[in-house]
Structure 1
Amino acid sequence: MMCSVNRLTLAVGLVVAAAVGPAVAQTPAPSQNATINLIRLLVQQGVLKQDQAQALIDQAESEAVQARASVAAVPAANGEVRVQYVPAIVRDQIRDEVKAEVMAQARQENWAAPNTFPDWASRISFDGDVRLRDESRYFSGNNSNQIIDFAKLNADGPYDVNPNNGRNLPPLLNTREDRENLLRLRARLGLKAVLSPSWTAGIRIGTGSDNGPVSTTQTLGGGFGKKDLWLDQGYLSWVASERVTLTGGRIANPFMSTDMLYSNDLNFDGVAALFNQPLSDSLSLFGTLGAFPVEYSADTASSNGLDKESSDNKWLYGAQLGANWQINDSNRLKGALAYYRFDDIAGERSGACEPWNGDPGCDSDGSRPTFMQKGNTLFLLRDITPNPANPAATPQPQFVGLASEFNLLDLNAVWDTELPHDFKLRSQANYIHNLAYDEGEMRKRSAGQLANNLDSDGNIKSGANAWMVQFTLGNALELKKQGDWNLFAGYKHIQPDALPDGFNDSSFHLGGTNAKGYILGANYGLDQNVYATARWMSTEAVYGAPFDIDVLQLEVNTRF
């Protein structure tokens, strides 16, 4: 600390010397008042504490007396007093160097501004959100009560599908019994660290009732048991150039999309390159390229079999190109065209196997989906050889896999316009087509063992298209303060094999595909960064047995 005080004293002395200028015999002594005023200014700016300032004043007075004595004691030959002249440019350079050195030490020792944080802390920021929701689910009494829960069948299976081996039913969905006033919570906390001007790291944790990818909402209750936290995001980003950013890890959705395809809570595992290129003041292009591993086959599958399964990794590749166009002061249009290719996501029919004879599994078990909701066309994966001793009663423990491949064409458009009386309107549309949908290939892949989406004649009841429209009207499209409000209404129509059922919104028709219906709702700003939402969704199945679901959600949303 004494070193810092001495340096500050030297700096003060240099400032005084600069004010004195070149000395001659008649040059006045340094002004004590100017020095004191300067020191007091440093105290007011928070650079010095009061006790340090007093020490400097005392030292400045002592050095001023010594300077006068020194000047008076060095007469020249002709009787004049001379002081060595220091050019102004040299004085300025010395002053700047001393100031920089002193301030650097002051920041390092945290005495120049004692209420601030170290440099590394200034490069870390936090954000998050908390949402409290009351959710009610209403089912029609006319719904079929024999809709199989294939996701649970795969998770708990295999399930013996041979009807001759007992009357145990497969897992079935709840289709008739209402569930009212489920209190649910979503809480997320994120940290972002700026490592350098080009590199950023981020981590986010979140709640969730399970490790499913489409929701971080936790249903409360459970005997007041503690709730789980999951790694929701973890990534590195590199700004490769002014126009290109590369990011990898567990990242937020890098594409312009709607929750009809990808849930708003869905994060992607993999790498993505994002670019943005302005073409004019009103028009710019943007795009994304990405590669994302959906699943790696287990190294040891099957765990207790002598022959291990070959590597069969599932990937999602995505490419998107879009444009932002500021048409005029009141209208803005944003649109994008994307292509998504899901490699090896469809199931595979196994080779002949004999689980009844001790086989630990069949060679295509790993092709079943890691996570699924409902709606996609499925087939039985295992080709089980009958037991010749009792073929009719041979156990048929089965998993199910996706019958269709998925290569998606995705078109999105959003038009924001400002209306009279400070109203704002957002019109949004999304169309998806599965280019890989082929009923002949689905029958061939399944070897005729389709498990759902069939009519009474055995015909496939499915489709390759999905579309949605939504309109939002209010005084704000993004709610940030008290009094902001908007109303929204939309309609969705999702055929069974238009897209994978495992990744989209888990609220509309309680997740998945083979669903159509409308959405109505409103948002209102309760305070800064706090708003309430009411949402009503009424849906039914597109094909197959009757399955109508209405969902009411009442929420308080906060963000920080």
Structure 2
Amino acid sequence: MISPVNRLTLAVGMVIATLVGQATAAPVAPSENVTINLIRLLVQQGVLTQDTANGLIAQAEKEAQQARQANAAPVVASGPTAAPGDVRVQYVPQAVRDQIRDQVKAEVMATAKQENWAQPNTFPDWVSRISFDGDIRLRDESRYFSGNNSPEITDFAKVNETGPYDVNKNSNTKFPPLINTTKDRENLFRLRARLGMKAVISPEWTAGIRLGTGSDNNPVSTTQTLGGGFGKKDIWLDQGYLSWKATDAMTLTAGRIANPFYSTDMMYSGDLNFDGVAAIFNHKLNNEWGLFGTLGAFPVEYTSDAASTNGIDKQDSETKWLFGGQIGADWKINRSNSLKLAAAYYQFQDIEGERSSPCSPWKGAPGCDTDGTRVAFMQKGNSVFNLRNNTTNPATPATTPDPQYVGLASKFDVLDLNLVWDSELPSDFKLRTQGNFIHNLGYDKGEMLKRSEGEIVNNINSKGQFESGGNALMVSFTLGSALEMRKRGDWNVLAGYKYIQPDALPDGFNDSSFHLGGTNAKGYFIGGNYGIDKNIYASARWLSASEVYGAPFEVDVMQLELNTRF
């Protein structure tokens, strides 16, 4: 290592060389003694060799003599009288300054390389093309249920996951899996942590990977509930993709990618990622107008090629697809107002259920031919029906088990319209007004009853009649000093309302907090955000929602959060 004296000497030498370079025009008579003494001092400290010093001294004496002959009279005539205690910076020839600088630089770099404390080109080129980002969110969540809620609301997602469930009450006296609708859950301490890496492979190609927490592999939340005996928590592959910038305005991305569409959490959860390929278009027409759009194809699920894993009755495997397209525009109305408009169409192909042909599990059939039409993931709200057309045992018709899975009753061809208006108000306030309207073009009550053969099992009113709908609406307002929390002191408050009929959209992909996820929900939400420091902010939200149709189910959710990003 370089000793403290040597490091100080090197630094002083470089500083002095710089200072004397700035004093070449000093109006005083030059003196070679200061220069010679400086050079000798650098030799004593081991910065310069004696041979180098001898050469520098000779050059300094020569140039100093030339300087005295050329400048002696004008300097003496015009130079100010030195006062007692004044220190004058002496003339150092340019050649001396250059040689001192080069020699010091060479000595410093040689020592730095030898001791490995300032070595250039230490890392390979690919390191400079990789970047990391991430975020951590701590949340305390409480859930408060109404005392008027029905205690017998079936968890159909769990039925499909753990079933089939025998719906014949004569042969099965156990309850199906039920949603908690009565017991409050306070102080659920929860964590979301995500870490992403992006690598620029070439100017046109980019690869990305992101890892995230999560209590399970459900697609709409990377939140992990803490506790559980201090057990370790799972890490999931949240994203993994390749992007190709085909043109300045067009990018193709494939793999597990972030939501490529402009949407609200009424349609897609903020944590939802898509599996598939998307072409994303952005083009600025002028200073006021810009166009954007997306086309995408996403395999939602691959059905099994067998009625059951242990059956010999193999069937054709099918793919359930989401095909989506969106077109939108950004309009900068003036310095204080901007507008974003977007229209999207999503076709969810073959995700609706299908009644089976006659099936006889009581004879030992391992499965029925439409079991694969049940969806892989659902939350709650969509109208569902029993998939199996089970026969009865003639010997015991009343007590023959009737094990069932459920499937979606409606088709989903969804029109999604979005509007966002940002305004700058007096006193530097900012206001965002947002509206979202969703209509399921595939909703047809008559077709649903026909498809289900009268076996729809939820969204039934007190008269035993089936009720549903295919529309959803959201409005929200955000007011504050900033719409996004970037620095200390940023703040905003927000309020909004949602109304989501049961079959306006698939219930498996939207926000998991409002009404605890899914559709068939209506209610309001309020909240606020405050910037604690750069990229650190606190949030508070209250979400109150109840059912639109069917059994009573009202729940209030309070969330207190500390958010960071890096």
Coarse TM-score class (shorter-chain normalised): 0.7 to 0.9
Structure 2 contact 479–492 (Cα < 8 Å) conserved? yes
* 2:308 alignment partner, one of 298, 302, 306: 302
1:79 is aligned to none
1:21 is aligned to none
Q: Where does 1:83-102 land on structure 2 (aligned, <5 Å)? A: none
Cα displacement string for residues 238-288 of structure 1 (whole angstroms, at most 9, x for unaligned residues): 000111000000000000000001000000000000011221111010000
Give the Cα–Cα distance (whole angstroms) in 2 for the partners of residues 414 and 441 of structure 1. Answer: 35
* 1:33 alignment partner, one of 88, 96, 99: 96
Q: Where does 1:75-474 land on structure 2 (aligned, <5 Å)? A: 114=120, 117-474=123-480
Question: Are 1:50 and 2:113 an aligned pair?
Answer: no
Give the 3 Å change call, closer, same or farther, for CA 488–132 of structure 1 in structure 2: same
Question: Are 1:547 and 2:518 an aligned pair?
Answer: no
Q: CA deviation at 1:40?
A: 5.2
Q: CA deviation at 1:556?
A: 0.2
Q: CA deviation at 1:391?
A: 1.3
Structure 1 contact 162–393 (Cα < 8 Å) conserved? yes
Give the Cα–Cα distance (whole angstroms) in 2 for the partners of residues 145 and 53 of structure 1. Answer: 77
Give the 3 Å change call, closer, same or farther, for CA 146–112 of structure 1 in structure 2: closer
Structure 2 contact 307–368 (Cα < 8 Å) conserved? no
Cα displacement string for residues 343-401 of structure 1 (whole angstroms, at most 9, x for unaligned residues): 00000111111111010000101110100000000000001111111111111000000
Query: Higher mean Cα deviation, 255-264 or 299-308?
Result: 299-308
Q: CA deviation at 1:460?
A: 2.2
SS in 2 for 1:164: coil
Give the 3 Å change call, closer, same or farther, for CA 348–112 of structure 1 in structure 2: same
Give the Cα–Cα distance (whole angstroms) in 2 for the partners of residues 357 and 450 of structure 1. Answer: 26
Cα displacement string for residues 445-478 of structure 1 (whole angstroms, at most 9, x for unaligned residues): 1111111112344432110000100100000101
Give the 3 Å change call, closer, same or farther, for CA 555–116 of structure 1 in structure 2: farther
1:490 is aligned to 496
Q: Where does 1:58-69 land on structure 2 (aligned, <5 Å)? A: none
1:4 is aligned to none
Q: CA deviation at 1:489?
A: 0.3
Give the Cα–Cα distance (whole angstroms) in 2 for the partners of residues 278 and 114 of structure 1. Answer: 41
Give the Cα–Cα distance (whole angstroms) in 2 for the partners of residues 514 and 432 of structure 1. Answer: 13
2:484 is aligned to 478
Query: Higher mean Cα deviation, 116-125 or 323-332?
Result: 116-125
Cα displacement string for residues 204-241 of structure 1 (whole angstroms, at most 9, x for unaligned residues): 00000010000000000000000000000000000001
Give the 3 Å change call, closer, same or farther, for CA 307–469 of structure 1 in structure 2: same
Give the 3 Å change call, closer, same or farther, for CA 126–455 of structure 1 in structure 2: same
Opposite residue 50 of structure 1, the aligned amino acid is: V
Give the 3 Å change call, closer, same or farther, for CA 169–52 of structure 1 in structure 2: closer
Cα displacement string for residues 394-443 of structure 1 (whole angstroms, at most 9, x for unaligned residues): 11000000000000000001111100111000110000000000011101
Opposite residue 102 of structure 2, the aligned amino acid is: I
Opposite residue 498 of structure 1, the aligned amino acid is: A
Give the 3 Å change call, closer, same or farther, for CA 345–454 of structure 1 in structure 2: same
Cα displacement string for residues 121-156 of structure 1 (whole angstroms, at most 9, x for unaligned residues): 110000000000000000011111111111111111
Opposite residue 437 of structure 2, the aligned amino acid is: Y
Structure 1 contact 439–460 (Cα < 8 Å) conserved? no
Opposite residue 120 of structure 1, the aligned amino acid is: W
> Structure 1 length as normaliser, TM-score?
0.82
* 1:557 alignment partner, one of 530, 548, 563: 563
Structure 1 contact 126–189 (Cα < 8 Å) conserved? yes
Give the Cα–Cα distance (whole angstroms) in 1 for the partners of residues 111 and 164 of structure 2. Answer: 80
Cα displacement string for residues 62-98 of structure 1 (whole angstroms, at most 9, x for unaligned residues): xxxxxxxxxxxxxxxxxxxxxxxxxxxxxxxxxxxxx
Structure 1 contact 301–308 (Cα < 8 Å) conserved? yes
Give the Cα–Cα distance (whole angstroms) in 1 for the partners of residues 155 and 138 of structure 2. Answer: 28
Structure 1 contact 151–372 (Cα < 8 Å) conserved? yes
> Structure 2 length as normaliser, TM-score?
0.81
1:27 is aligned to none
Give the Cα–Cα distance (whole angstroms) in 2 for the partners of residues 360 and 170 of structure 1. Answer: 21
Structure 1 contact 302–309 (Cα < 8 Å) conserved? no
Give the Cα–Cα distance (whole angstroms) in 2 for the partners of residues 53 and 541 of structure 1. Answer: 74
Cα displacement string for residues 309-350 of structure 1 (whole angstroms, at most 9, x for unaligned residues): 222210000000000111111111111000000000000111
Percentage identity across paired residues of the two chains: 68
Q: CA deviation at 1:301?
A: 4.6
Q: CA deviation at 1:34?
A: 6.4
Give the Cα–Cα distance (whole angstroms) in 2 for the partners of residues 460 and 122 of structure 1. Answer: 61
Opposite residue 415 of structure 2, the aligned amino acid is: L
Give the Cα–Cα distance (whole angstroms) in 1 for the partners of residues 411 and 145 of structure 2. Answer: 31
Q: CA deviation at 1:52?
A: 4.0
Give the Cα–Cα distance (whole angstroms) in 1 for the partners of residues 305 and 97 of structure 2. Answer: 79
Q: CA deviation at 1:49?
A: 4.9
Question: Could you list the runs of 4 or more consecutive aligned residues of structure 1 that deviate by over 6 angstroms after TM superposition?
Answer: none
Q: What do you get for the CA RMSD once the two structures are aligned?
A: 1.9
Structure 1 contact 423–476 (Cα < 8 Å) conserved? yes
Opposite residue 509 of structure 2, the aligned amino acid is: F
Aligned length: 472
Opposite residue 311 of structure 1, the aligned amino acid is: S
Structure 2 contact 141–559 (Cα < 8 Å) conserved? yes
